[in-house]
Structure 1
Amino acid sequence: MFFGILVLVGAVTVAIVVFRGSEDEQFVRAAGEIEAVARTLGEGDRLGPRTIEGMAFEEVSREHGVVFFQRGLVAELDPYGYAWSPRSDPARIFDGVEPSGDPVAHTFDHLHGAFYSWKGTH
């Protein structure tokens, strides 16, 4: 009986992991709709909380041509999420420039096309 329950729990766990996919994979699948939102923002625009293709964002903003899709804060301090940067790697754009004058060190990892995962660290 115990072995059967253990196998069932293991199978359910594997199914959840496989079918849910990673957050980055979910983001790439939703990239078309997310890019459509990014293209509508003007420089300096900020949008409050919203859900796009099932992904919740606390804020969407455009600075220096880069659109930030903030998912949340780590330890209530450091922002994280995604960035859309069709011109070039956002790390180059923000080299020596702080978005919004916020004293945060930003890191970007390329995901797909013009999309990057993004983290800020105080």
Structure 2
Amino acid sequence: MARKPSRRWATTLLIGTALASSPSCGIADEERFARSMESMEQAARIAGPGGGSTENPQEIGGFAFDDVYRDGDRVYFKLGDHSNVDPYGYVWSPKVPPADDPGDATASSFEHIQGHWYRWSESY
């Protein structure tokens, strides 16, 4: 007669699997950004002036960006949804830390990564 696995063993296995996979997702993104940062900065420095998105997909470093565009002194590297609903990605802002414009209907958030780099997301 085959012995059934104990509940304790199954719970331990599930917790172990969750713990093993959870940090690796964040670390993978951080490592990919660290490896891509130099290429992204080169792209940011040559990005032409523009007042908004040109929907210009580009592969830079380890990322496939839906769009890369300059808005003033900032260069946005958009990863988000293709329908432009709640986009997110990275921003290179070499002059001043980016901040949400309270007069804009879009709520933008920026989280400093390092140097001139920020994680960015928007919600409507």
Q: Same fold (TM over 0.5)?
A: yes
Q: Is the CA contact (8 Å cut-off) linking 1:107 and 1:120 kept in structure 2?
A: yes
1:1-122, aligned counterparts within 5 Å? 14=20, 18=24, 21-44=27-50, 46=54, 48-73=56-81, 77-91=85-99, 95-96=101-102, 98=104, 103-122=105-124
Higher Cα radius of gyration: 2
Question: Structure 2: how far apart are the matches of 1:90 and 1:19?
Answer: 26
- Matched residues, percent identical? 33
Q: Secondary structure at the match of 1:90?
A: coil
Secondary structure of 2:42's aligned partner: helix
**Greater fraction of residues in strand:** 1
Contact 1:50/1:57 (CA < 8 Å) preserved in 2?
yes
Q: Is the 8 A contact 1:82 1:118 kept in 2?
A: yes
Which aligned segments of 4 or more residues in structure 1 are displaced greater than 3 angstroms?
13-20, 94-98
* TM-score, length of structure 2 as denominator length: 0.71
| Structure with more relative contact order (C-alpha pairs < 8 Å, separation 6 or more) | 1
Shift of 1:85: 0.3
Shift of residue 56 of structure 1?
1.1
* Distance (Å, rounded) in 2 between the aligned partners of 1:80 and 1:113: 19
Unaligned runs of 5+ in 1: none
Q: Residues 74 and 80 of structure 1 are in contact (CA less than 8 Å); yes or no, is this contact kept in structure 2?
A: no
Unaligned runs of 5+ in 2: none
What CA distance in whole angstroms lies between the structure 2 residues aligned with 1:83 and 1:63?
Answer: 10
**TM-score in terms of structure 1 length:** 0.72
Tell me the amino acid that sits aligned with residue 94 of structure 2: P
Cα distance in 1 for residues equivalent to 2:25 and 2:85: 31
CA 1:97 to 1:46, structure 2 compared with 1: closer, same or farther past 3 Å? farther
Aligned Cα root-mean-square deviation (Å):
3.4
Contact 1:46 1:62 in 2 (8 A): no
